Structure 1
Amino acid sequence: MDAVSDRDYVIDLAYNNSMIMMHLSRICEEIVLWMNPQFNLIDLDQGFCTGSSIMPKKKNPDVAELVRGKTGSVYGNLVGLLTLMKGLPLTYNRDLQEDKEQIFNSVDTTLSCIEIISKMIPTIVLNKQRASELSGTSFSTATDIAEYLSLKGMPFREAHHLVGKIIKYCEDKHCSLEEIPESEFQKFSNLIEADIYKKIIPSNTVKMRSNKGDTSPKLVEKEASILIKALKKYEQKQ
């Protein structure tokens, strides 16, 4: 009785589709956000965008927005299947015919979105200049100063508090960390020396973080290479 009315495998598939769509939706959200003129971090091939019906200057990342929207439909199919099953007694009931439309739609939508995303992502062009500009905003290297002081013997709690004072100084003076004179830095602590400036340049701090999972370009390339090899190996098995 249970065997002929069980649809766990259908719900599992719908859940997996929902999980895939969740990740695709997040990627698309980043694309939409980064293409916003306020960020201006990336550009997409025109084939994946449309213009505005009234504003000729606009370039809308429609494909990314549509994939993001499709996620709700796939989620709805999962909820629909769960709702379909919740009140059924054991053995087969005609209600179970309703699972076909939902799971077919879920699979078809997910596969279509994967296909279009795989074609869209390679067309992304990074605005390196803008990325560089944004990387130094909001005192992004403040933590590196705290680590710098900690490595020179200052307790991290004290270093954390001291960096807060340095940030307050910058806000009052309307300057960046790089613009603080060495003499002013040393008023906060005599542990701070000229080498501090190497620690507060974003491009340097990215390179210096070289533990597994960190941001060093060489490390990222290595990890990417491992993933690419794994994908190629998987494709060969198909």
Structure 2
Amino acid sequence: MDHKNKALWSGRFAESPAEIMQKYSQSLDVDWQLYKEDLQGSKAHGKMLHRIGILSEEELQQILKALEEIEEEVNQGILQPKISLEDVHMNLEARLIEKLGPLGAKIHTGRSRNDQVATDYRLYMKKAINDIKEKVLLFLTTLLERAEKDIDVVVPGFTHLQHAQPISLGHYWMAYFWKFTRDLKRFQAAYETTNVNPLGAGALAGSTLPLDREFTRKELDFEVNSQNSLDTVSDRDYLLEFLFAASTFVLHTSGLSEDLILWSTSEFDFIEPPDAFCTGSSMMPNKKNPDALELTRGKTSGVLSSLYDLMINIKGLPLTYNRDLQEDKRPVFHTIYTVNMILDVLTPLIAGIAPKEESIAPHLNKGFLLATDVAEYLVAKNVPFRETHEIVGNLVQYCIKHHKTFEDLSLEEWQNYCPAFEKDVYDILSPQLAVDRRKTFGGTARSEVKRQIQEGKTIIEVFNA
């Protein structure tokens, strides 16, 4: 057996694994990026071993120095991992033993790869989630800025993709502000679930050594220690929570992208997306395609699949560790990358959108957007709503048949359908005024949009505090 490259667990075996088995079982193409967290965990574990008397001060300092040197070797590309050593943990430990001999082998005292990978992964995820939260906060700030900028722009609101009622464009942006605020809270909840120290759980049952888990908890800046070693080794709930938060996030970015794709078509022509996030056609020189938005919509499927991937992976796994769990990183790392890319693209894209008010204006005269306002006008005249609904529905039919809008109707025509109509009915036939009449809490009135914006700013201040 090649003792230089043999696995650190090889004592039980008479021969090395087959070459194809080494390729099949390695995880270095994924977990090598955990090297900083693995070294961080080893430093904390080494300090704890010194604290309980297993390492002397001199031994600890040698180990800490060697771990620093190994990190620099990885940073500079000098230390390249070996597939024969399977994973990031074995490669780094083997290098430590190369540098320090038997002393390097002491670092694994009281530790298993099972709690080691859990520690590395949680440390990595804490940073990854915090990075995403910072980008979400920047995205939310951009939505607030858009809402303030576009508060006076009136656009049709839609249900079933049919013209429904006029709304402030600022109100539209705030709708997504609240959706993404909930996503931010979900990412925060995932962070809290992640912020648990697993080190000391061992392979599955803890250790006979007097390991000081509270020391490593503080050293690694975890909020609490895990409560049960069996649960600790098998737990992937924190990853599911992150993937669920990411899934709802991309569902929201997909819906937003779909709206903006439609709004940028010549049929709608509500907005002009920034050139920097569009592409042209290789054949048709007239084309301006909203590729960034389409890609955002398309990347949703990969993130949703990542959630299903991990759920299916852990379905029915017996306690505690099973090698299936090695496959928990690919979907998560893919999701982290995708969510970061989406935020890096959408934030400047949204900031650069230009509303086209002249093109929007004709749409405000389509679909009888003020039909509900007319019905509620009659309600104010003491006509029961169900009657007003039918009256206005008949008026709409009349207008369609005679190619008229509400503004085109004479007072006589109004009164033919209901004598309660008076001259003041013309005063309500303004989309801009209709927006401001909707002053119910959370409505589209500009006063309400301003309130929402102020609350949004407070939320961001709290998260940034």
TM-score normalized by the length of structure 1: 0.95
Does residue 158 of structure 1 match 2:387? yes
Distance (whole Å) between structure 1 residues aligned to residue 250 and residue 362 of structure 2: 32
Q: 1:180 aligns with which of 377, 386, 409?
A: 409
| Secondary structure of the structure 1 residue equivalent to 2:268 | coil
| Secondary structure of the structure 1 residue equivalent to 2:289 | coil
- How many aligned positions are there? 236
Measured after TM superposition, the shift of residue 130 of structure 1 is 2.0
Amino acid at match of 1:60: N
Task: Please name the residue that 1:192 is paired with.
Answer: 421
5+ residue gaps, structure 1, are none
Instruction: Single out whichever of 94-103 and 107-116 deviates more from structure 2.
Output: 107-116
Backbone CA RMSD of aligned residues: 1.3
Percent identical among aligned pairs is 37
| Secondary structure of the structure 1 residue equivalent to 2:387 | helix
**Are the counterparts in 2 of residues 178 and 201 from structure 1 also a CA contact under 8 Å?**
no
Task: Please name the residue that 1:54 is paired with.
Answer: 283
Task: Please name the residue that 1:232 is paired with.
Answer: 461
Measured after TM superposition, the shift of residue 58 of structure 1 is 1.0
1:137-152 → structure 2 map (5 Å cutoff): 137-152=366-381
Amino acid at match of 1:96: L
Task: Please name the residue that 1:29 is paired with.
Answer: 258
Task: Please name the residue that 1:210 is paired with.
Answer: 439
Distance (whole Å) between structure 2 residues aligned to residue 43 and residue 95 of structure 1: 48
5+ residue gaps, structure 2, are 1-229
Q: Deviations over 1:164-203 (max 9, x none)?
A: 1111110111111110011211121221011111222222
Distance (whole Å) between structure 2 residues aligned to residue 191 and residue 92 of structure 1: 75
Q: 1:14 aligns with which of 219, 238, 243?
A: 243
Task: Please name the residue that 2:334 is paired with.
Answer: 105
Question: Which structure is higher in helix share?
Answer: 1
Does residue 66 of structure 1 match 2:291? no
| Secondary structure of the structure 2 residue equivalent to 1:23 | helix
Q: 1:82 aligns with which of 311, 320, 327?
A: 311
**Are the counterparts in 2 of residues 142 and 200 from structure 1 also a CA contact under 8 Å?**
no
When Rg is computed on C-alpha atoms for both structures, the one with the higher figure is 2
TM-score normalized by the length of structure 2: 0.49
**Are the counterparts in 2 of residues 81 and 102 from structure 1 also a CA contact under 8 Å?**
yes
| Secondary structure of the structure 2 residue equivalent to 1:195 | helix
1:110-125 → structure 2 map (5 Å cutoff): 110-125=339-354
Amino acid at match of 1:128: E
Distance (whole Å) between structure 2 residues aligned to residue 135 and residue 224 of structure 1: 25
Distance (whole Å) between structure 2 residues aligned to residue 159 and residue 119 of structure 1: 46
Specify which structure has the bigger relative contact order, considering alpha-carbon pairs within 8 angstroms and separated by 6 or more residues: 1
Amino acid at match of 1:214: G
